[in-house]
Amino acid sequence: MNLQLHTILLAAGMLIAGASCIKKDNYDAPEASLEGNLFDQNSKNNIQTATGNVTIRLEQLSWSATPAPQDIPVKMDGSYKNSKLFKGHYRISIKGGAFWSVPPAEIDIDKGTRYDFNLTPYLYLNSFTTKLDSNQLTLRFNMQAPIEGMPSIAEIQPYVNTTSLVGPGASIRDYSDVYKVAVNKEWAAMSPADKSPEFVIPDLVKGRTFYVRVGVRFNNDDKSSNLSEIIKIDVPK
């Protein structure tokens, strides 16, 4: 009997000791938010991107001097948003993308915080036009460098898809990758013809809708691209 009572008391003591070690989570749920745009600082329009091409990096300095980074993907229209952040003081920077680098900034993030980036692309893809002749598509555009000295140009190519999600990693190979042109030149070494390319894409499926854009990929660290706007093409039956 004494042995049983001793065992019961010992077990009860262990439960009480264990309960005293449990700490209540006093941290508030993540209710802060951050959103913004990547603006072309010259035109003030959103910079066109592609899925996985650019991310916004946050480091919460109010939590740690060396915090683990968290990344927010930038959408194809050049906007970004995260509505589940902890309120605090952050370092914000941009990773990837084919534009001249900008230094990190420090901001306080609370509910409804906005932060826009004003950027200069390596190249502008101007006068992007499409011409459809039956089911043959011709694409033309001109390249313009606002600042010289960007990384060398690796390649140029069209991107064609059946959805508006179109660009690097999201295109139909037979209408896109097979028309890729290797360049591997510095901007200063490119001829006027190099800077005003033309793509002719035959045999589009009749009666289908396609979305097209063009891109220029660079020999930078992440092989990023400058991209044109997206144009919808309806191929007649």
Specify the CATH number of the domain 32-119: 2.60.40.1120
pLDDT confidence bin for 97, thresholds 50/70/90: very high
CATH 2.60.40.2060 fits 124-234, yes or no: yes
Domain ranges of the chain: 32-119, 124-234
Closest CA to 223 of 231, 215, 235: 215
Same fold for the pair 32-119 and 124-234: yes
Mean pLDDT of the chain, nearest integer:
90
Would the pLDDT of 23 be above 60?
no
Angle at 89 between CA 87 and CA 94, to 5 degrees: 105
User: What region, left, alpha or beta, does residue 3 occupy, with left being phi > 0 and alpha being psi -120 to 50 degrees?
Assistant: alpha
Read off the pTM. 0.83
pLDDT confidence bin for 133, thresholds 50/70/90: very high
